[in-house]
Amino acid sequence: MPSVGVFDSGVGGLSVLAALRAELPHERFVYFADTAFAPYGERGDAYVIERSRKVTGQLIAEHGIKALVVACNTATTAAIHLLRAEHPALPIVGLEPALKPAVATSRTGHISVMATRGTLASAKYAALRDSFAGSAHVRSVPCDGLVKAIEGFDAEAIATLCARYMAEAGPFGDATGEVDTVVLGCTHYPLVKSELQRHAPPTLRFIDTGAPVAQQTRRVLAAAGRLSDGEGGLILQSSGDPSVLQAAAARWLQTSPQGTTATSA
């Protein structure tokens, strides 16, 4: 049974994978963490494009994937248009910071976007942000080092960086000029949402792209006649140490890890 391929520069895409498995329990997934070449978000476009092409080619060659989810904001902004052009028969779903739902639900019209520097510096993000210029004030917060801390399970660094970047994302509240909605514009960040919430009032809303991406993947598979009704499963694959990915999946996947294998690549 062909699988749905999912890739990210590291373990961050597990937040998207959890949503995918909840939405599509009958699908088989192969998740590729490009940890030997991470992080993408602090690299240039040429580097990210090269790795995205290589990983996509490997997923096609080894697993014959029937669809691809680019579970990385940076890879989406840098490379998804090229991947779609090079693989026109392969349904490809990408993601972008969830500004549209944030603007739609914000009461104050003040929104902060926490993301990697690569995502925030991209032309695609600039166009997305500028499209809401008349309806919301958007503050962009580059979170240097947070992905690396999450990848390394570095609790002290995670706590320090979350405190720093939440301070930059505020002030929070429901009063005029205060931020009431934070967009988590990197797939790693939902994994430490509880730490981010320590520095926010209970009314602050966090929005990420996991559920919308999973719903879009269902629509794309259905339109292509590729939905499965069989038994779901998961293969974990990494360009680095597979035991690190296995440990991250055990810690952060919100669905059962049964049927999971981890291999290096």
Q: Judge residue 143's burial from the number of C-beta atoms within 10 Å of its C-beta, 0-12 exposed, 13-18 middle, 19 or more buried.
A: buried
- Is 72 among the residues known to form the active site? yes
> What is the C-alpha to C-alpha distance for residues 98 and 155, in angstroms, rounded to an integer?
27
Phi/psi of residue 107, nearest 5 degrees: -90, -35
CB atoms within 10 A of CB 176: 8
> What one-character-per-residue DSSP string does 180-231 give?
-EEEE-STTGGGGHHHHHTTS-TT-EEE-SHHHHHHHHHHHHHHTT----S-
Map tokens 């476009």 to a residue: 45
> What is the C-alpha to C-alpha distance for residues 182 and 97, in angstroms, rounded to an integer?
10
> What is the C-alpha to C-alpha distance for residues 53 and 185, in angstroms, rounded to an integer?
22
Phi/psi of residue 84, nearest 5 degrees: -65, -40
Q: Are 58 and 265 in contact (CB under 8 A)?
A: yes
**H-assigned helices in 94-187:** 99-105, 117-120, 123-130, 146-151, 155-169
Catalytic residue, chosen from 72, 120, 184, 249, is 72
Contacts of 229 (CB under 8 A, 6+ apart): 26
Catalytic residue, chosen from 14, 186, 191, 262, is 186
- Is 143 among the residues known to form the active site? no
Q: Which active-site residues does the annotation give?
A: 72, 186
